Structure 1
Amino acid sequence: MKRAFILLLDSFGLGATPDADKYNDVGVNTFGHIADWAAKAGTPMQLPVMEKLGLAAAAHAASGQWAQGFHQRDGFTAAWGAARERSTGKDTQSGHWEIAGVPVEFDWGYFPKTVPSFPAELTQKLQELTGVPGFLGDCHASGTEIINKHGDEHVATGKPIIYTSADSVLQIAAHEDSFGLERLYEVCEIAFKLVEPYNIGRVIARPFTGANGNYTRTTNRHDYAVAPPAPTLLDHVKNDGGEVIALGKISDIFATQGVSRVVKGKDNMALFDALLKVQDEAGDKSLTFVNFVDFDQAFGHRRDVTGYANALHEMDARLPEFISRMQEGDVAVITADHGCDPTWPGSDHTREHIPMIFFGPGVAPQQLPISESFSDIGQTLAHHLGVPPLSNGNNLL
């Protein structure tokens, strides 16, 4: 029996790529800078499980630097390396699609860093078709910040909060109780059709609850996303008779294309619990793909170094549970989709190498070369599962 697992630590970059200057990201290093911060704070990071798998060595291969607090130099138990993105963006969809064998060879549309950010004809048409009294925000913003800033006025007026980021995205936030969750979804569905001429990748529904300036986003987020332009690893597995189990926001990112089953979780640890349950159930030729979104959503974008470091420690502490359940024929990979250096100015993603840490009962420990495309990950798993090869990428094992 052969099974594959992708454990994606959303935004966990290992250092700037050679083309980082095009993105104003020269010097970024999500993992390295978190480790530096922890060491200076007198609490050096300790990720013994991932370090033994080869994480710090992969980061050294990517950045030329050893992360502070990490001392193992040999004796690794996984096939470890790093990859550079071939796609032109540093966004969620590009990273995930490229991992699955479909690099984004076109340029997404983006909304400018102006106020307002959205074209007047777009917001006017959206207002006309949805019947809302207007919009709040209309700018580049952190979701948690803009919701707390405009939440009271939103509840009082019924005007949805709209904002964007460095991603190709329109985000719409509304209160689950006063505005209504289904109504928010309806507004987002209409918006998704309206942004098509702008070549926007996603419209994201951002429901929240709370009162009086103290609001919390809920787990009922929903992404309305453009489908990948070509068959991905998910399609190859499903079409060849295997089950594709999507945990977290994976199904949304792939617009449900190639997905057999969807499993949700409210945070990283809930998703890890779900992963363990799926691991016990998944059958032959199955692909389980989980996105641990908190690294990016809760800590990277918010530039919360402490929270990011704590989340890494939590993940490392849980990994032995997953490893102990692995069966003969299982291959798992720890990876990411881009960087989001919490020490870097602003709140956007960062152009970085991503980890490629392949492990399992039959994986020979070895150093892997720096991959020139994330698609090497998908191609390696396609080869392992025995499904038709992808259009891009090289088998690494």
Structure 2
Amino acid sequence: MPRAILCILDSVGIGGAPDADKYGDVGSNTFGHISEWAASGRADRDGLRSGPLHVPNLDALGIGAAIQLSTGTLPPGLSPTAKGGRFGVGREVSKGKDTPSGHWEIAGVPVPFEWGYFAESEPAFSPHLIAEFVERAKLPGILGDKHASGTDIIAAMGEEHIRTGKPICYTSIDSVFQIAAHETHFGLDRLYDICQIAFELTAPMMIGRVIARPFIGEDATSFRRTGNRRDFAIAPPEPTLLDRNQAAGNQVYAIGKISDIYAGHGVTHKIKGTGIPQLFDKTLDAMEMAADRALIMTNFVDFDSEYGHRRDVPGYAAALELFDSRLPEIISKLLQDDLLILTADHGNDPTWTGTDHTREQVPILLFSPSLSQGELGIRSTFADIGESIAHWLGLPPGRHGRSFL
């Protein structure tokens, strides 16, 4: 009986979308530019890795062919053909380049509305919002109140946060309100509590997520974020693939931050994990446990959070190689009727300007022991991915997208 394993390589885009000009992202190409950078010989600089990008397993599944289909250019060292499975390109119809938009559309539900965003000025938040937040959460005030990189603002303000008890509040180009606080000095449960209050205040503004960003350490040199992040998210506007599979009596394994992205809807098994190795381990564990017609969905967030936003090209390259090196473990565990899908939710080109997501097309790579190889073409919506999985699992068609199987 069929099962589906959906791996979302968070931010691994493959070339600017047709409307990238509206976002200032014409010419962005996350995977392609990393491949070009690695082939240029500059990868020796930090001693992290060297030489051309080595991703033989992704290449065999068609990543090079997908990038060439997306951009018309084949990155150095990659093959123009797939040696197994099927490859294609996903094109997003939802507005914006946010995590929920991409994920919801992948699961068959394009976002039908505009997200709310905070001003790029400083302060970023309205005085009324902060005053109500501080009063309801019983806080002495807040720090930050601006657009910022999470790691940078924690390093800059973490010591003052510990001293004053004021949480660090910041945002980005995405539709988010982020709150960083120390796990022990401030308290993890207290952080979650104030994030719930912030979510109640920002949801009417159509702010997609309030994100709890806990960290540990005692000074700027030792602060580091932990795996206890939690996203408080607006729920999808209609049932997604996860809801549909759960309603049919089937299992839905949500690994990493998947459950948070869908506000817990449609999830039967929530499994937390941090880092690419652990997320791979959790995915393999789920494959051992999953019953017939189960959906296993994993978000590999490190590509985005650790390397894309930080514009860390060698780190991103090394992460792609690490992911590639472990792909055979998943493939070897596939049953005859299992379907493996690799895709992404947006881009985050580490060679691009700024520190935010890039509006890109995404790869769609499919493999199953029972599936012939071929090309899927350029799909007009990410929702085709969800509808294809629904078809594979024997679910009725949804309202958006169409199966390519």
- TM-score normalised by L of structure 1: 0.99
Evaluate the alpha carbon distance shift between residue 75 and residue 270 of structure 1 in structure 2; reply closer, same or farther with a 3 A threshold: closer
Which residue does the alignment assign to 2:18?
18
Q: Which runs of 5+ in 1 are unaligned?
A: none
Q: Which structure 2 residues correspond to residues 55-204 of structure 1 after superposition, within 5 A?
A: 55-70=63-78, 72-74=79-81, 76-204=83-211
Letter in 1 for 2:326: R
Q: Identical aligned pairs, as a percentage?
A: 53
Which residue does the alignment assign to 2:38?
38
Letter in 1 for 2:200: K
Letter in 1 for 2:19: D
Task: State the 1:73 CA deviation.
Answer: 2.9
Task: State the 1:364 CA deviation.
Answer: 1.3
CA distance in 2, matches of 1:376, 1:135: 43
Per-residue deviation, residues 68-101 of structure 1 (Å, max 9, x unmatched): 121x233520110111100011000000000001
1:54 pairs with 56, 62, 71, which one? Answer: 62
Matched, 1:248 2:256: yes
Matched, 1:359 2:367: yes
Which residue does the alignment assign to 2:219?
212
Instruction: Decide whether the 8 Å contact of 2:68 with 2:80 is kept in 1.
Output: no
Matched, 1:274 2:282: yes
* Residues matched between the structures, number: 396
Evaluate the alpha carbon distance shift between residue 125 and residue 390 of structure 1 in structure 2; reply closer, same or farther with a 3 A threshold: same
Letter in 2 for 1:378: G
Letter in 1 for 2:37: W
CA distance in 2, matches of 1:46, 1:294: 18
Aligned residue for 1:81, secondary structure, equals: strand
CA distance in 2, matches of 1:296, 1:75: 26
CA distance in 2, matches of 1:204, 1:247: 17
CA distance in 2, matches of 1:86, 1:324: 34
Instruction: Decide whether the 8 Å contact of 2:86 with 2:373 is kept in 1.
Output: yes
Per-residue deviation, residues 224-272 of structure 1 (Å, max 9, x unmatched): 0000000100011000111000000000000000000011112111010
After superposing the two structures, state which structure 1 stretch, 193-202 or 93-102, moved more: 193-202
Aligned residue for 1:370, secondary structure, equals: strand
CA distance in 2, matches of 1:239, 1:130: 37
After superposing the two structures, state which structure 1 stretch, 89-98 or 38-47, moved more: 38-47
Matched, 1:292 2:286: no
CA distance in 2, matches of 1:22, 1:346: 16
Q: Which structure 2 residues correspond to residues 337-352 of structure 1 after superposition, within 5 A?
A: 337-352=345-360
CA distance in 1, matches of 2:189, 2:80: 53
Which residue does the alignment assign to 2:245?
237
Matched, 1:328 2:340: no
Aligned residue for 2:377, secondary structure, equals: coil
Letter in 1 for 2:364: M
Matched, 1:7 2:15: no
Superposition misfits of 4+ residues, deviation over 4 angstroms: none
Task: State the 1:132 CA deviation.
Answer: 1.0
Per-residue deviation, residues 157-179 of structure 1 (Å, max 9, x unmatched): 11100000111110000001111
Q: Which runs of 5+ in 2 are unaligned?
A: 43-50
CA distance in 2, matches of 1:228, 1:46: 37
CA distance in 1, matches of 2:305, 2:82: 34
Letter in 2 for 1:269: P
What's the C-alpha RMSD, in Å, of the aligned pairs? Answer: 0.8
Per-residue deviation, residues 359-390 of structure 1 (Å, max 9, x unmatched): 11111100111001000000000000001211
Which residue does the alignment assign to 2:313?
305
CA distance in 2, matches of 1:234, 1:159: 38
CA distance in 2, matches of 1:315, 1:297: 15
Matched, 1:378 2:386: yes
Which residue does the alignment assign to 2:268?
260
Evaluate the alpha carbon distance shift between residue 213 and residue 367 of structure 1 in structure 2; reply closer, same or farther with a 3 A threshold: same
CA distance in 1, matches of 2:294, 2:204: 37
Instruction: Decide whether the 8 Å contact of 2:59 with 2:82 is kept in 1.
Output: no
Instruction: Decide whether the 8 Å contact of 2:74 with 2:80 is kept in 1.
Output: no
Per-residue deviation, residues 121-176 of structure 1 (Å, max 9, x unmatched): 00010011111111111111110001101001101111100000111110000001
Per-residue deviation, residues 10-60 of structure 1 (Å, max 9, x unmatched): 000000011100000011000011011101126110110110111110011
Task: State the 1:199 CA deviation.
Answer: 1.1
Aligned residue for 1:211, secondary structure, equals: coil
Letter in 2 for 1:14: I
CA distance in 1, matches of 2:214, 2:81: 47
Per-residue deviation, residues 277-314 of structure 1 (Å, max 9, x unmatched): 11111110100000000000100000000110000000
